[in-house]
Structure 1
């Protein structure tokens, strides 16, 4: 399985991958074999459970003769992170303070 992708993926990627695979008459296993990955990864990509890397999208394009249709839907994240998570952290406001854990008994009085 490829490393966790730090990419920005167009929400249409999963449906387009499935459409292209079916149009080419390929099974998950056949496509997976062509791109040297497991059929589980292809399934996860088609259901949107996993994001592709730019390289995986390019290999899928080549295997499906898609002329760049999939690769255009995937780009490296500008800051190396997921844009949605970056936006969420930015808008989340201040981080709540941690409560300090106090001992059950006072070390001075012993009780």
Structure 2
């Protein structure tokens, strides 16, 4: 990762800490300097969906959590992809995670 990429990640992590969001499991920087923050389920922490909503609330609700497609997470486990463009100053940052959902109609659980 470049020095500029490390700075983008540091700025994003600082913003998440100030917003009171824990459990950023994987933070990456794409070649176009977009920071991606993956939130996974973790014992003792709110669900990824709840943490994404906390980020949105910390930003004043200006950007909604965007629902995406339903995906298979594993045997019998389904989740809806959620993403949020975070208002980190000077950074294009996207947080994402899955919200557990029931199996889609017509598919075995």
Given the two structures, how large is their TM-score scaled by the length of structure 2?
0.32
- Higher fraction of helix: 1
